[in-house]
Structure formats: structure tokens, C-alpha cells
Amino acid sequence: MDICTAYDLANAYYGLFKDRDYLELMYSILDQVLNNSNSFDVKTFIARTFASDHDKAVFHLNIEIAYSHARLWETSKALEILSQVSSMIKGDKVLKMYYNDVLAEVYIIRNQRDLAIEVLKAASALDADTQSCEHIGTHLLWNLERLKQLAKSYFVNGLVNQAKKTFRESLRIAHDIYGYESQHKDVAQIYLNLAYTTIKQKNLLKAKDYLEQTKMMMSRNNTQYEIVFLFHLHSSDLMIAQEDYKSALQYLYELIKIVGEWSDNGRHPFDSGKVYLRMGKCYLNLGKIAAAERNLLLSRNYFDKADDQDREATG
């Protein structure tokens, strides 16, 4: 397989959340770029993908690999890679912007939210200086991703109003990129984030509206796992907020099937932990203590398993 085809296949794996397959190909591609830089195949790949700049190719491949490790909660490995390539930035504001985006994602996963917010703010400030040298579409996409990350950081830090405001701004940019009638997964994700945020604000009617918007998008598309999972999860959250625990359990039992069908997505233990945690709380509120204890124990076991996988992967 030539390197250009391998890179296209790697990106296909990435979109399917097959991060292990993605990483295997990306490490192979990086090895070829580092050790066979004079070959016609590698030169063609760098010319096509990175405007014939070998150093930037090495930097961006490492950044993409680091981000994929972060998606698998292998944050120590991601930080190790980021540390190795930090010296390649050399005052390049565009490279620094990409670097900060991935670093912020690592901090978010490690629950270092204050650091994540500072890095994301720095990335936004850098971007204001680099708009003239970046294509507007690329700029909007990166700005959208930064806003989504920043909103999540605000939310986890308990700054719910700031989170909602930032999610709404990210929705505006998503509409600018994809159109107001778009069914793109980025739009669906933002609706789901807004639904969960408004549930926390006890604005349940608005949360229901955001979930309905997502449901309509799902009915028209072959939706990705993450959207299907979060729709059912936050629908159960809405039912729990309304103290309709039996309806919440219906969504949660459906989620058990969904997670099982997508068990190769790399997030199975962690996602299962979220489901069983909510089931335990529902049964507790229904007065079914034995069922509550059973599901809460399952939740703990799945979260422990997810932690063990992270430690094994990072050594």
C-alpha cells in the first residue's frame, strides 16, 4: 500500500473511532516520512498533504498521533509526543495553535480544567493573528473545535452559564460552516451538549427541544455511535430530572444494547460505566435497593476496567 492510500485509510479508521487501527497506520506513515524522505512515494505524499514541507509533515503527523492517544485516554503518551515536537514550533503561530488545541484536549481528559481553559484562550489569541495566512474554512473548523472544548471545560468547572453561552457560539459557527439545515455530526453534538447543559440549569423544556432537534437529525442520517449514545444518555438524564425513572430506565436499557453492538469503538467500559451508574440511581429512587446496588457495582467495575486499560496502554 502506498503512503497516500495508507493516510486516506487511516483517516477513514479515525472517523469510525477505530483508533488502534488508525495509530498503527499513522506510526507506519511517520516512520516512512522520517526514514525514507527521499523516496518518490514519500515526496508525493508530503507534497500532496503538507505543501512539500518535510518538517511540518513530521510535526502534524505527531500531533495527529498524540490526539488519537488522547482519545484513548493514553494521556501520558500524548504528553510525551507533544513534548518531543514542541521544539519544532520555533515561533510559528500556526503550529503553536495546532499544538495548543491538542494540549488542551489532553488537559481536559486529565481533568486539569484550569490548564485547559488557559491553553484554549491562548490558542484563540494566536488564531486572531493567523487568520490572514489560513484558509477561512480551516480557521472556522479549528475555532469551532476550540469553542466546544472551552465550553466543556467551563461546564466541568461548574461554570454552567459560561458553558451554555460558549456552546451557543459554537452552534452559530457550526451553522456558518455547514448551513442552518445541516445534519452534520458537529451540529448534533452541540445540540446534545446544550441539552445536557440546560438539564443542569433545570430548563427542562429547552433541553427537550434540543433533544428533539437531535432526534430529527438522527432520523435522517446513518448517525455515528457517539451521537446515538449521547442522545439516549441525555434523554435518560432528562427523564431523571423529571423524576420519571421508569422512562429513564427504558433509554438506559436501550443503551446497553447500543454499547454492546458498538463494543469495538474503544470507549466500551467507560460508556458502560456511565449507563450502569444512571441505572443504579434510578433503581435507588424507585426503592429497589438490590437492583440499585447491583448496577452501581457494575458501574464501578466498568470504570475500573477503563482505568486499567488506560494504565496498560500508557505503561
Residue 5 lies in a domain: no
Is residue 213 a part of any domain in this protein?
no
- Is pLDDT of 57 > 90? no
Arithmetic mean of pLDDT, 33-51: 81
**Mean pLDDT (whole number) for 22-48:** 87
pTM score, whole prediction: 0.56
pLDDT at 238 over 50: yes
Computed over every residue of the chain, the mean pLDDT equals 81
**pLDDT value at residue 312:** 47
Q: At 311, is the pLDDT very low, low, confident or very high (cuts 50, 70, 90)?
A: very low
Q: How confident is the model at residue 282, as a pLDDT?
A: 96
Domain that holds residue 303: 243-315
> Is 168 among the domain residues?
no
Q: How many domains does the chain have?
A: 1
Q: Answer yes or no: is 125 within a domain.
A: no
Residue 132: inside a domain, yes or no? no
Per DSSP, the three-state class of 205 is: helix
pLDDT value of residue 72 = 80
User: Residue 304 pLDDT > 80, yes or no?
Assistant: yes
- Is 40 inside any structural domain? no
Mapped onto helix, strand or coil, the DSSP state of residue 151 is: helix
Q: Which residue has the higher pLDDT, 1 or 24?
A: 24
- At 161-220, the pLDDT tens digits run 888 888 888 888 787 777 777 777 788 888 999 999 999 989 999 999 999 988 888 766
- Whether 185 maps to a domain, the answer reads no
- pLDDT tens digits, 103-160: 887 887 777 767 877 777 676 665 544 444 343 445 456 667 777 777 877 787 788 8
The per-residue pLDDT for 133 is: 37
In a domain, 306, yes or no: yes
- Tell whether the model's pLDDT for residue 309 goes beyond 80: no
